[in-house]
Amino acid sequence: MASAGWSIEKRAPLRTDTFSRDNENVPETGCLSIVVLGASGDLAKKKTFPALFHLYRQGFLKPDEVHIFGYARTKISDEELRSRIHGYLTPCKGASTEHTEDVLKFLQLIKYVSGSYDTEEGFRSLDSAISEHEISKNSAGGSSRRLFYFALPPSVYPSVSKMIKNCCMNKSDRGGWTRIVVEKPFGKDLASAEELSSQIGELFDEPQIYRIDHYLGKELVQNMLVLRFANRFFLPLWNRDNIANVQIVFREDFGTEGRGGYFDEYGIIRDIMQNHLLQVLCLVAMEKPVSLKPEHIRDEKVKVLQSVVPIKDEEVVLGQYVGYTDDSTVPDNSSTPTFATVILRLHNERWEGVPFILKAGKALNSRKAEIRVQFKDVPGDIFRCQKQGRNEFVIRLQPPEAIYMKLTVKQPGLEMSTVQSELDLSYGQRYQGVVIPEAYERLILDTIRGDQQHFVRRDELKAAWEIFTPLLHRIEDGEFKLIPYKPGSRGPAEADELLERAGYVQTHGYIWIPPTL
């Protein structure tokens, strides 16, 4: 007969490659090799290499321990690659001609290897080059760190992952590691995303995979958790009892500009909404995590995504700007939306009944990205000032970076009249002389440190695609009409009508003006 007493079995700790207090005692003493795959492409030249240079200038990449390798099919020399990159490093942020020496020193850290993405020959050469660097730095066996950045189209992710696994892994586990960074798009729908995840997941463990969404590296996106959970006056207000609606907006004042062929394959929902805006929504709506450990934060984000109810057709407006198909790379009969407004609704205790309005578009009348939290009307309004507009909390992600609160105040003078004004934290004024890091700088540094907080986990990716895949398939089946709109406009008028039906109250006559220095 079993004993009536209770016994507690201690669980073995989860092995993780993610940075935390628990593994700080594992020293990372080996040299660091950063491999930029697709080194001759636009993404590498315009984003990846400049981000690495800024990290180098700020002392996060030590010249005595780091080496950078470019890999691509193009047959060029080390000097030719350096020459291609050079123009994107100068002038850099806050730089002058005095930084020329830094640029030249950084370029000397770059070596180029040419090879295909689906055969072992090139990757064997790459491994030899990395090993030669590790030996030259007297890096202890197994302590070396290898980071592979996929500045590549997703179609070659599986073959490149296989080649890295077969040819280029760090040889043992003595404090060293091998990590891969993959860029969006992570598939085109749920099925393709799951297939891609499975192909990569068969070769690498989840802690080795960093799915990068550069929006999560933006300064004010990273500020969301601090604003929400470190300030007492937000805690009791952040719920359906006080908030009428939340808008997350991305607007560009230009069209496809040479990216028509790529954009037409994906559209505004896949390009912006399903990833960037949905990630921001998670940070706005999530519950407080039990700690700042990456997995605790990502657990709460997944819960938000799983609480989103199916999108209603009547809460979607799609548009295409006039002249989009004039691009020679875009089909004349393209049904790809360049504008979308979609309302998401969360089925949970905090947000039941609050519409989350996601809006993204190209060729509009302004360029900005912002989060706009609109509060409900003041009950018993004795000043009769509701027509002026509601209280709003606005986080301007770009440009310029700012946080401000719209509120009603007394108009200066002898009369008791009210006006809308703001409490304003404009970063350019408040943090003069402080250079705000680019998103890619922050995220690459997080990858080197092993911090996955700002990267997309596999179950998070799946939950995101589950939200939008049915809508995307209905669009492709022709079930939605694209509304034409003029370039330089606000987009389709039907989008404003949808916002009004959702309960958003637009403020007329108020314009936020960034303060001057």
Q: Where are the alpha helices (DSSP H) in 145-212?
A: 157-167, 190-201
For 62, the token pair is 């030590």
Q: Which of 54, 67, 276, 454 is catalytic?
A: 276
Question: At a CB cut-off of 8 Å and minimum separation 6, what does 260 contact?
Answer: 324, 327, 328, 329, 330
Q: How far apart are CA 216 and CA 283, in angstroms?
A: 10
Helix axes of 439-449 and 49-57: crossing angle, nearest 10 degrees: 70
The DSSP line for 64-125 is TTEEEEEEESS---HHHHHHHHHHHHSS-TT--GGGHHHHHHHHTTEEEEE--SSSHHHHHH
- With beta carbons less than 8 A apart as the criterion, state whether 216 and 327 touch: no
Q: Give the CA distances from residue 175 to residues 29, 87, 149, 169, in Å, rounded to whole numbers and listed in that order.
A: 8, 36, 20, 14
CA torsion sign, 153 to 158 to 159 to 160?
Answer: positive
CA distance 419 to 486: 33
Residue 200 tokens, joined: 């990569």
Nearest CA-CA partner of 248 in 376, 340, 314, 352: 340
- Half-sphere exposure of residue 501, counting CA atoms within 13 Å on the CB side? 13
Dist. CA 386–CA 356, nearest whole Å: 22
Of the chain, the end-to-end C-alpha distance in Å amounts to 80
86 carries an active-site annotation: no
- Which among 145, 53, 93 is positioned nearest to 441, based on CA atoms? 53
- Residue 502 contacts residue 357 (beta carbons within 8 Å): yes
Nearest of 425, 418, 424 to residue 406 by alpha carbon: 424
Q: List, by residue number, the catalytic residues.
A: 276
